[in-house]
Amino acid sequence: MVAERGVDVIDEAEHRAVPVPALSALMILVGLAGPLVMPPVMALLLDAVPARRAGVASGVFNTGRQAGGALAVAVFGALLASRATFLPGLRASLLIAAALALAAAAVSLLIRPADEASPPVN
């Protein structure tokens, strides 16, 4: 919700002449969302796998997070590269991020806690 409000504020700023420092300050709302979301997502993930697989699950999660972050920097950087297309690129990049966050939230609804009594998976 914090990121969504940040996107709303930035979208409103697109229709007015807003200095870059003010726009950067508005983006703090979007930047706060990641650190607020990661701990509960990690807890949900670790709760969904057997304890003996927690290290593997954590490693896969962090590898995906790092790869996603690198890809996001490359794609969003390309969208924001030109001064003439900065605001449309910013809007597109934030909409892409919002769509991916929504998809991740939808997938997380499918995750169920692991049953410790289930037979081991090799």
Encode pLDDT of 11-30 as tens digits: 666 667 777 777 777 777 66
CA 34 to chain CA mean position, Å: 6
Say how far apart CA 66 and CA 55 lie, in whole Å: 16
**Does a structural domain hold residue 84?**
yes
**Does a structural domain hold residue 117?**
no
- Encoding tokens for residue 24? 């950067």
Report the residue count for the chain: 122
**Does a structural domain hold residue 58?**
yes
Provide CB contacts within 8 A for 100, sequence distance 6+.
Answer: none
Per the structure, how many domains does the chain have?
A: 1
Question: Does the structure show a pLDDT above 50 at 117?
Answer: no
Q: Provide the domain limits for residue 95.
A: 2-108
Average pLDDT over residues 69-75: 89
Percent of the chain with pLDDT over 90: 8
CA distances from 92 to 7, 68, 89, 119 (A): 10, 17, 5, 46
